Structure 1
Amino acid sequence: MNFFISLKDATKKIEHYCAYQERCHEEVITKLRSMKMDADEIDRIMAQLIQDNFLNEERFARSFARGKHRIKHWGTIRITNELKFRQINQRLIATALKEITPQEYAETLDLLAERTWQNISESNALKKRKKFCDSLLRKGFESNLVYQKAKELEALS
């Protein structure tokens, strides 16, 4: 049995999807495709969502950058890569990264570095440093900052 959803029902469903959490265009298009909407219907729904302000890529990018930094403690490299993966353009990525103040960024790095350093129970200094650096690099912090932090923490221990 084929199940077809009307344009009106699909629009209502996708409006709820967008209202629940900020979404990027790519996520909404993927969701509409999963609802078996054709390209023409997707275009019409997307236009409606943008017009009614359910969908705004700049708002999404800003929210994403703030949230991932404050909650998951991601660095700018990881945030940038994740936004690129979601088809967000470079101008919007730059705007989104301005949501994170240099002071907040430094405080997050300090806090995360201290916590990570304390949690690594490795007696071999080189292995400990490698685990520490790998962890912060995976989080998306710049290598020069990570290596500088490792030197500072090594000097203190």
Structure 2
Amino acid sequence: MDTGRTPNKSIDKKTALAKAGSFCAYQERSQQEVRDKLYSYGLKTAEVEELISELIGANFLNEERFAIAYALGKFRIKKWGRLKIVAGLKNKRVPPGIINKALRQIDAGLYFDTLQTLLKKKNAAVKESNHLKKKQKLLQYAAAKGFEKDLIFDILNSSDLL
């Protein structure tokens, strides 16, 4: 299948820097995303690392800023829990210290309320008469969204959800 792109076409460092700058300016990126993009231009490892350093120096690339934007965006928009956010950030090769800092940006009260709202909506949608099976389906749903099981159990056991 022809995508219209010439694979592994090498470009010079100046052009690569300009393209990477545009890539980073469009939205927050992790270092690994930019590194992968630069490698796709056919650059060597030393050139890629030099360009990454230049992008960091020019504040186009900031791993902490990326992690916070990623965590807050996935929580607010997609209603992901902390576990799924951590997995996504690890997949982007963000260091653990930065991941923890990003997770601390999520308001605990809002996190709890979001999980409670998700469970209430799902409870209304689940057509199951057996109480235990319904509880299991709700637990599975919230766990798949990345919420912690102990928090899910707290809500399921303490509320009049079921």
TM-score by length of 2: 0.89
Shift of 1:149: 2.0
In 1: Cα distance, 2:49 partner to 2:161 partner: 58
- 1:92 maps to which residue? 98
In 1: Cα distance, 2:41 partner to 2:127 partner: 49
| Distance change in 2, residues 1:110/1:69 (3 Å) | same
In 2: Cα distance, 1:106 partner to 1:151 partner: 14
The match for 1:50 among 45, 51, 56 is 56
- 1:131 maps to which residue? 137
Does residue 1:10 correspond to 2:10, yes or no? Answer: no
Please list every run of at least 4 consecutive aligned residues from structure 1 whose deviation after the TM superposition is greater than 6 angstroms. Answer: none
In 2: Cα distance, 1:121 partner to 1:28 partner: 45
- 1:27 maps to which residue? 33
Shift of 1:19: 0.7
Listed as ranges, the gaps of 5+ residues in structure 1 are none
The code of the aligned residue for 1:32 comes to: L
The match for 1:40 among 36, 46, 70 is 46
In 2: Cα distance, 1:156 partner to 1:14 partner: 49
When the two chains are superposed, the root-mean-square deviation of aligned CA atoms in Å is: 1.6
The residue matched to 1:108 in structure 2 has which SS? helix
> Identity of counterpart residues, as a percentage?
38
TM-score by length of 1: 0.92
The match for 2:126 among 120, 127, 134 is 120
Shift of 1:152: 3.8
Deviations for 1:73-115, whole angstroms, at most 9, x for unmatched residues? Answer: 1111111121122211121111101111111111111111111
| Distance change in 2, residues 1:50/1:35 (3 Å) | same
Listed as ranges, the gaps of 5+ residues in structure 2 are 1-5
The residue matched to 1:71 in structure 2 has which SS? helix
Deviations for 1:34-90, whole angstroms, at most 9, x for unmatched residues? Answer: 111111210111011000001000000111110011011111111112112221112
